[in-house]
Structure 1
Amino acid sequence: MKKKILAITVILFSSGHALGKAHPELERIEIKSREMNLVGDAISAAEGVVGQQEIRLRPIFRTGDILEFVPGLVATQHSGSGKANQYFLRGFNLDHGTDFATMVDGMPVNMRTHGHGQGYTDLNFIIPETVQSLRYQKGVYYTEIGDFSGAGSAQLSTMKEAPAPGVELALGEYGFQRLVGIANATTDNGHWLVAGERQFYDGPWQDINEDINKTNALIKWSDDLAGGEVSVSFMGYDNSWNSADQIPQRAVTSGRIDELGSIDPSVGGESHRYSVNTDWQNDNWHFSAYAIAYQLNLWSNFTYFLDNPEQGDQFEQVDDRTIYGGQLDYQFSHAVYSKPSSTKVGFQTRIDDIEEVGLYATRDRVRLGVTRSDEVLQSSISSFIRNETQWTSQFRSVLGARFDYFDFSVDDQVGVNRFGIDLSPNSGDASDDITSLKGSLIYTLSSMWEVYGAAGQGLHSNDARGTTIAVDPASGERAPQVDPVVRTTGFETGVRTFIPGKLNASMSLWQLELDSELLFVGDAGNTEASRPSRRKGVELTAYYYFLPAWALDVEYAYTDAQFTDSQPAGNQIPGAIEHVLQAGLSADFENGWYGALRLRYFGNRPLIEDGTVESDSSILVNFQTGRQWQNWQLELSVLNLTNSNDHDIDYFYTSRLSNEPAGSQTDDLHYHVFEPRSVRISASYRF
C-alpha cells in the first residue's frame, strides 16, 4: 500500500513537469540570509533572518527542528514524531511552545486552550523545502507580536515561486520513506505553486512500530492586485503515529526494557490541519486573514499504573477546533521635530471556536470514561502602534505600545464525570486585558557596527478552563482559578557587527521576569501555572565565511534561571538549560558539491526545584553531503553521526510499574534517548 501511494504521488508531480514548462525562464534564486546586513534595520542584537540556502545545507531529522535555526533554541522530542516538539530557549522549558510565538505565512501556530498543552506548536504541517525564510525575534520588544511572546517569536514564510521545482525521493534506515514534489505554473491570472509530501517511518523502537503516515500539501496562488501583491494559500496536513514515550530509568536498569523499549506500546496519536489564508500588501497597507480546521487525538501514559492499578493510567487528550483571524496594518512616513519618522498602526483579531477539548481515561486507546470535556470559545482583539524616528544620522529610536483583550467562554459537556463529580460549576465566562509598552534605542557606529538597548513587556494567555474552574475534575475539591493573562518583562543590550563577505556576529545581555511560570505535570501530561521567575543571560552568535565556499557558525547561550519567591521546595526552575552550544561547518562549491557537519550541545539542567536531581548534558552530531549536476541532485545524511545514546529529554516524577506492589510509588528519572545513528539517501530531479 505504501509503495502504491508513493507511485501515485510520483505520477502526480511528474505531471507537474508540464506546469513547470509554462515558466521556462525561471531563474534559480537562493537567499543567503545569514549574509544579510541587519545593521540599520534590526532593533536588537537578538534577531535575524534565515533563508533557503541555510535550510538546505542543514540536516533536519524532524520538521520541528527548523526552529533550531533560532540561536540558543533546542527542539527535542519525548514522544512520537507526529507530536509537537518540546522546545527550550532562554532558560524556558517552553513545553510545546507556551512562551515562543510561531507564525507561518501570518497564521498563528500556537494553540490556545489546547488539549495537551497551552501554546501547543506542531510544525509537522510544513514542507521544509517550501520555506522561503525564517525571521526570529527573541525578547519582548516587538509590537506586532502578542500572545506567547515571552521568550520571543519566529515567522516562517513559504515561497510564492519555487526556484527549482522538481521531485525528491528519500529512503533511510528504520523504514524511512519520503517523497516531495514541487511545481510552478504561470497563467494569465497569476502564478501557482503546488507542493506535496508523503512520509512513512517505522522508527528504531523495540516494542512498537512508529508507523508514521504523514501527508502534506501546499497550493499557493499569487498575483499583482490593486497596486500591491496578493496571495491565497491552502495547506493540508494529515498524520497518524504510534509513540515511544519517555521511559523510567529503573525499568532499564532492571533489564525489563531496553533504552529503545516502551512501557505502554499502545500510545500514539492522530491529527489533521487544513487552512486557507490570504495576504495582500503594498508600500503602506498590509491585510491578511485565515481560517484553520484542526483536530488531535493523543494517547499518552506517563505514570503507567500509579492511579489505576487495574486498567492503567493511559489517557486520551482531544482537541477539535476551528480558528479564524486576521490583521490589518498601515505604515506611513512623516516628521517628528523635523526628523524623518515612520509610524505603523495595526489591528489583529483571533477566534478559537473549540468544539471539544477533552480528557478521557483509556486502555489500548479504548475509552473507559471521561475526566473532563468542554466546549470553549476564546477570542482576542489587539491593536498596536510603533514609531521609528531617525534623530541623527547615527541614532534612532523605536517606541511602541500594544493592547490585548481576551474573552473566555467555557461550557462543560460532561455533567457528572467518571469519578462521580459534577463538573457543571466549571462552566463560565472570563475576560481580561493587558497593555504592553516596548522600546529600543539604536546607535549606529558605522556601516558595520551597531549597538542596542531595549526594554519591553510581553505576555502569554492561560488555558481558558483554568480561568473559570471551580471544581477539580479528579478530587472534587475546590480548585483555584488562574490569571487569564501572564505578564513578561524584558531588558536587553547588545552589539552587532557585519563585515561583508566575512563575518556576521552579535552579542546580547538580557533579562526576563515572568509573573507566573508554567511547569510540566507528569501525571496529567500538561502544564500548570506556578511561581514567578527571573532569567538572565548572555548570547553570542558568529557566522564566519573564511573562504568563498566555506562557512563556520557558532551560537552559544548561557542562562541563569531562578524562581523569585522563596519556598522550601527550592528556587531552581525544572528544565531550565544553563548552557546551549550549536556549531556547524558548511561548504557549497561551484562544482555542485556541498556538505555540512553540525554539533548541538545542551548542558545539564535541574529536574526539581531544589536542584538535587539534574539531567546529564547531551551532544548530538549530524552530517550531510550531496552533489548537484545538471537537473539531478543526490544527498547523503547521517543523523546522530556518533551513535550517541544521550538523552533527548529528561523528567523526574512519580510513577508505578505493573510488577511493583499495589499502593507503591517511585520517584524516578523518566527519559527519552536520541534515536540511533540513521543513514538516509535522497535523489531529486529538477524540472
Structure 2
Amino acid sequence: MYATFIRFFTGKLVQLALLGCFFCTLNAQAQNGQLGALRGTLTDSLTGRPLDNVSVQLLGRPEGASTDALGTFRISRLAAGTYTVRASALGYRSRTAVVNLAAGETQTLNFAVAATALQLAEVNVAQPRDLNQSVAAISDIDRQLRPVNSAQDLLRLVPGLFIAQHAGGGKAEQIFLRGFDVDHGTDFAVTLDGIPVNMVSHAHGQGYADFHFVIPETVEQLRVYKGPYTARFGDFATAGAGEFTTKTSLGQSQAKLELGRFDTRRALLMVDLTGKDGRVFSRNRRESAYVATEYNFSNSYFESAQDFRRFNGLAKYTGQLSERATLALSGSHFTSSWDASGQIPERAVQEGLITRFGSLDNTEGGNTDRTNANAILTVDLPNNAVLTQQVYYSRYHFNLYSNFTFFLEDSVQGDQIRQNEARHLAGYRGTYERDIALGSRTLRSTLGVGTRADDVNLALRRSLRRQVTDTLVSGRVQQQSLFAWLDETLPITERFTVNAALRVDYFRFRFREDRNDSLSGRASKPRVSPKLNLYYQLTPAVQLFARSGFGFHSNDARSVVAGAAKSLPRAIGYELGSNFKPTAALVVNAALWALHLQDELVYVGDAGIVESAGPTRRFGADLGIRYQLTPALFADVDLNYNYGRAVGEPDGEDYIPLAPRFTSIGGLTVKRPSGLSASLRYRHIDTRPANEDNSVQARGYFLLDAVASYTQPRYQVGFSIENLLNVDWNEAQFDTESRLRQERDAVSELHYTPGTPFFLKVNGSIFF
C-alpha cells in the first residue's frame, strides 16, 4: 500500500509540476521579450560583509526583493522606464538609486551601505516578501535591542515565548507559547539553517527540541511564524515556528571570555577565514567562510555541583559557483554532560528535609551530542525562477537519568529511570519559486517537495544511581515523512494581496520492540493542510491581515503502531491583526487568534505512555510594542493573553494543565553611538492551573534582568545580571504524585525546579 501510494503521489506531483512549467514557459515566451530586470549586491561599507535579507524596493511600486545569503537580489519582469530603487536594512543608512531601464535590459546595482544608529522611523510595516512572517518588523528590532547571552536567549527572541529548564543545563527547555505548555517542542517547530531541531519519537518526548548546539553569536536572523498558516511548515507547527539562520560571514574575528557566579566559565572563538580580498579559494568568485567554537562550564546554584560541560563547534562556507548559483556548506558538532538535582516536592522543603536548592536524588543528569552536516544549493534560473535544494544529515545521542516520583513505584530502590537513544536523521527539501505575469499583476508561486527519515534505537529502563536494573521498553523506530506544498501569492490590487496554499504530508511509522512482538508494528497516515491568508495595506503605515490554516503534530511511533493514539491530530487556527506605526518612532503588532486541536495528545517520555487530553480550544490576544523614546533610548513590551479549555469536560474540570494565561516581556534599552549599550528587562508569567481542576497551581513570577556592554572597534567589555532582585521563584513546575522514602502514602502536589538566584556574569571580547 505504501509503495502504491508513493507511486501515485509522485506521479501526480510530477504531472502537476510539468503542467505548471509548461504554462509558465508559454507565458514567459509571450512576455519576456520586452521585460527587463534589476540585479545587484548589498554589502557593509566598512567590513565588506554581504547583508542577508535586506529589503530592496521600487519606490511607488509594489515590486521588490530581499537579498540572499551572499547579499544578492533580483527584481524581474520590469517594463522599460525609470525606477527609483531603495535598499534599506535596520541599523544601516538607506541607499537609493535612479535607473533608466530599456526594454529587455538587465542592469546591475551594487550598494555599499553604512551602519548607523538604530532608527525605528526606518522600519517598514508594508507587506514583506515573506507575508506570513507577521512579526517581521518586531523581530528585526528585537535582534538589535534584546541582548542574547545564551542559546536559551535565542528562543526568548520569539515574542510571547517563555522557557523553563528543569533537569540541568544540558536538557532542552520546556516551552510556553500562545496558551500552550509545548513541553519540549510538541507544538512549536524550530529549524536552524533549514535543519529541523525537533525530534520525532524521541526518548524523552515528542518534538523534543534541544537548541543548545547553537552558538548564539553565530545567529544572524530569526523569522517568527505564529499559528499553522505557513505551508512550508508541517509537523509541530501548530502554535508556531521559528526559523534561525546563521551568519554567512563574520566581517572580523572574535575571542571572548565570560566569568560568572557558581563557577561559571565560557570561552568563545570565532575566526573569519575570508581573505582581505573577500575570497577564500577563488579570486573570481564571491566567497566567505568562518569557524566558531565555544566551551561552557558551570556548577550552577544547587547544593550538589552540576558539573555542566558543553562544547560547540561550527564551520560554514558560502560561495558563488557561477553568476547564478550559490552553494552554502556547514558542519557542526555539539557535546554536553551534566548532573542534576531534579524536581523537588514542596513538602520536602516545608518539612525541612532539604532546602530549595537541595536534592532528593542527586544522581540525575545525563549526556548528549549532535553532529550536523548541511548543504544548500541555490540557482537563479531563467524566466524569473529560483531553485533551492537542501540536503542535511544529523547524528544524535541522548542519555538522561530522571527521578520524578522517588519511591512511588519501588519503595526500596526508588523510581529513577534512564532514557537513551541513538539516532540518524537525514532529509531533503527542494523549492521552486517563480514570478509569473498575470496581466498587470505578478503571481508569486512556490512549489516545494521533501522528505525526512529518522532511524532511532531507543530504550526506557529503570536504574539505581545510574546503574540499569530493568528494561521497560527497548527497540528501533523507523519513521519517514514525505511532503509537498504549493504556495501562491497574488496582489489583487496594489493594496490587497491573497496568499493561498496547500500542503500534503505522508507519514510512515514502524517500531520493532526487542523483546515483545506485541508492541511492534507498522502504520501510515496522510494529512492535507490548506491555508488562506489575506493582507490589506490600508496606508503605508498600516497593514491589516486575516490568516487561517490547518496544521498538525505527529505522535510517537511506539504509540501509533500500538493503536493507542491518533497519529496526526489536526489543528485549525485563525487570526485577525495588524502591523502599524501610529508615529514614526512607534511600531505595533496586534492580533486576536484562536486555535483548535482535534486531540491534544501528550507523550510522557518519563513514563513511556501516551496521555490524551481530548480536543481543546484556545483563544487569545497578542500585543507587541516597540517605541523609540529618544535617539538613544528604546522601550519594548509584549503582552500575551491566552484562554484555553478542554472540550467536552465539566466546568471546573476542563483546565489545560500548565497553559499560561498571561505573559509579558519588556524592557528599556540604551544604545549610544559611543558604543555604550545597556538594557533593563523584565519577565512575567502569571499563576496558572497545574492540573485539570485547578486544585494545584503553578506559581507565577516577575523577574528583572540587566545587561550592559561597551563596544569599540577592537574590543568589548560587559556584564549581565539575571534575577536582579534575587527573588525566590519556581522555574519548571508540575503537579506530580510522589512518595518519599519515609512516607506510607503517596502525595500529589506541586513539584518544581527552583529558578536562578542573583547571577552576575562579566565578559570581555577582542576583535581581530
- Normalised by the length of structure 2, the TM-score is 0.81
Determine which of 528, 535, 541 is the counterpart of 2:624.
Answer: 541
CA gap 1:484/1:490 in 2 versus in 1, 3 angstroms: same
Aligned residue identity for 2:559? G
What is the aligned counterpart of 2:424 among 322, 346, 349? 322
1:671 aligns with 2:752: yes
Alignment of 1:37-436 (within 5 A): 37-41=124-128, 43=131, 46-48=134-136, 54-55=142-143, 58-60=146-148, 62-186=150-274, 187-189=280-282, 190-206=287-303, 208-226=304-322, 227-283=324-380, 284-336=386-438, 339-354=441-456, 356-413=457-514, 415=515, 423-436=516-529
Cα deviation, residue 523, structure 1:
6.0
Say which is worse superposed, 538-547 or 184-193, in terms of deviation. Answer: 184-193
- Secondary structure of the 2:154 match is helix
How big is the shift at 1:578? 0.4
1:69–1:645 Cα change, 3 Å: same
Q: Scaled by the length of structure 1, what TM-score is found?
A: 0.90
Question: Cα–Cα, structure 1 residues 228 and 498, in superposed 2: closer, same or farther, change >3 Å?
Answer: farther
Alignment-derived partner of residue 539 in structure 2:
446
Distance 1:50-1:185 versus aligned 2 partners, 3 A rule: farther
* C-alpha distance in structure 2 between counterparts of 1:545 and 1:309, whole Å: 60
- CA separation of 1:523 and 1:304: change in aligned 2, threshold 3 A: farther
1:233–1:276 contact (8 Å) kept in structure 2: yes
Q: Tell me the alpha carbon deviations over residues 178-214 of structure 1, each in whole angstroms, 9 at most, x when there is no partner.
A: 00111111223432110000000000101x2111110
Deviation at 1:346, TM superposition (A): 0.5
Asked if structure 2 preserves the Cα contact closer than 8 Å seen for 1:302 and 1:525, the reply is no
Deviations 1:120-146 (A, max 9, x none): 010100000000011100011100100
Is the CA contact (8 Å cut-off) linking 2:125 and 2:540 kept in structure 1? no
- Unaligned 5+ segments in structure 1 are 1-22, 416-422, 470-479
Greater shift, 510-519 or 25-34, is seen at 25-34
More divergent stretch after superposition (239-248 vs 150-159) = 239-248
- Shift of residue 392 of structure 1? 0.7
Q: 1:579 aligns with which of 662, 679, 694?
A: 662
User: Displacement, 1:61?
Assistant: 6.2
Amino acid aligned to 1:40: Q
- AA partner of residue 730 (structure 2): H
Instruction: Determine helix, strand or coil for the equivalent of 2:176.
Output: strand
Q: 1:488 pairs with 560, 566, 571, which one?
A: 571
Look up the equivalent residue of 1:70 and give its one-letter code: V
Q: Determine helix, strand or coil for the equivalent of 2:269.
A: strand
User: Deviations 1:401-446 (Å, cap 9, x if unpaired)?
Assistant: 0000000111111x1xxxxxxx221111100000000011111011
Q: In the alignment, is the contact (CA less than 8 A) between 1:45 and 1:506 conserved in 2?
A: no
Deviation of 1:501 (Å) = 5.6
Amino acid corresponding to residue 432 of structure 1 in structure 2: K
Q: What is the distance in 1 between the residues matched to 2:191 and 2:610?
A: 22
Q: Distance in 2 between matches of 1:622 and 1:330?
A: 45
Cα drift, residue 25 of structure 1: 5.1
1:685 aligns with 2:739: no
In structure 1, distance between residues paired with 2:135 and 2:155: 13
Secondary structure at the aligned position of 1:644 is classed as coil
Q: Deviations over 1:254-276 (max 9, x none)?
A: 01111111111000010000010
Q: CA deviation at 1:295?
A: 0.5
Query: CA 1:71 to 1:24, structure 2 compared with 1: closer, same or farther past 3 Å?
Result: closer
RMSD: 2.1
Q: Residue 650 of structure 1 aligns with which residue?
A: 733
1:569–1:466 CA distance, 2 compared to 1 (3 A): farther
CA distance in 2, matches of 1:299, 1:134: 33
CA contact 2:602–2:610 (8 Å) conserved in 1? yes
Q: Is contact 1:59-1:637 (8 Å) kept?
A: no
Aligned counterparts of 1:185 and 1:499: Cα–Cα separation in 2: 45
Q: Distance in 1 between matches of 2:608 and 2:164?
A: 16
Percent identity over the alignment?
Answer: 32
Q: Deviations over 1:542-581 (max 9, x none)?
A: 1111222221101000000001122588111001100011
527-536 vs 123-132, greater mean Cα deviation = 527-536
Taking a change above 3 Å as real, the CA distance of residues 160 and 586 of structure 1, as seen in their structure-2 partners, is same
* Alpha carbons of structure 1 residues 199 and 525: separation in structure 2 relative to 1, 3 Å: farther
Asked if the contact 1:166/1:684 (under 8 Å) is kept, the reply is yes
- Equivalent residue letter for 1:154: G
Shift in CA distance, 151/65, structure 1 to aligned 2, threshold 3 Å:
same
Deviation of 1:633 (Å): 0.7
- Between the aligned partners of 1:317 and 1:253, the Cα distance in structure 2 is 31
Question: Does the residue aligned with 1:310 lie in a helix, a strand or coil?
Answer: coil
Q: Deviations over 1:625-651 (max 9, x none)?
A: 111134111101111111111111221
SS in 1 for 2:136: strand
Paired letter, 1:394: R
Aligned partner letter, 2:711: Q
What is the CA–CA distance in structure 2 between the aligned matches of 1:222 and 1:28, rounded to whole Å?
11
2:649 to 547, 566, 574: 566
Deviation at 1:598, TM superposition (A): 0.8
* 1:468 equivalent in alignment to 2:561: yes
Check the 8 A contact 1:361/1:369 in 2, yes or no.
yes
Residue identity opposite 2:484 in structure 1: S
Q: Does the 8 Å CA contact 2:628/2:634 hold for their aligned counterparts?
A: yes
- Contact 2:575–2:594 (8 Å) recurs in 1: yes
1:660 matched residue in structure 2:
743
Using the TM superposition, give the Cα deviation of residue 318 of structure 1 relative to its aligned residue in structure 2, in angstroms: 0.8
Deviating more after overlay: 509-518 vs 564-573: 564-573
SS of the residue corresponding to residue 657 of structure 2 reads: coil
| SS at 2:621 equivalent | strand
Alpha-carbon distance in 1 for matches of 2:232, 2:621? 25
* Alpha-carbon distance in structure 2 between the residues aligned to 1:380 and 1:126: 25
- The SS at the match of 1:547 is coil
Contact 2:133 2:223 in 1 (8 A): no
> Cα deviations across residues 21-65 of structure 1 (Å, max 9, x unaligned)?
xx9954697965986424212535843267798447544565223
Task: Please report how far the alpha carbon of residue 481 of structure 1 lies from its aligned counterpart in structure 2 after TM superposition.
Answer: 1.7
Quote the offset at 1:335 in angstroms: 3.6
How far residue 584 of structure 1 moved from its aligned partner, in angstroms, is 1.2
| Cα distance in 1, alignment partners of residues 729 and 767 from structure 2 | 38
Q: Partners in 1 of 2:373 and 2:297 — Cα distance? A: 26
> Match of 2:375, as an amino acid?
T
Structure 2 unaligned regions, length at least 5: 1-44, 52-88, 92-117, 275-279, 381-385
Match of 1:503 in 2: 586
| Contact residue 580 and residue 603 of structure 1 kept, 8 A | yes
Q: CA deviation at 1:66?
A: 1.5
Q: CA deviation at 1:79?
A: 1.5
Alignment CA distance shift 1:56-1:399 (3 Å): closer
Q: Quick check: which has more Rg, 1 or 2? A: 2
1:586/1:594 contact within 8 Å kept: yes
For 1:163 and 1:63, the matched residues in 2 are separated by: 22
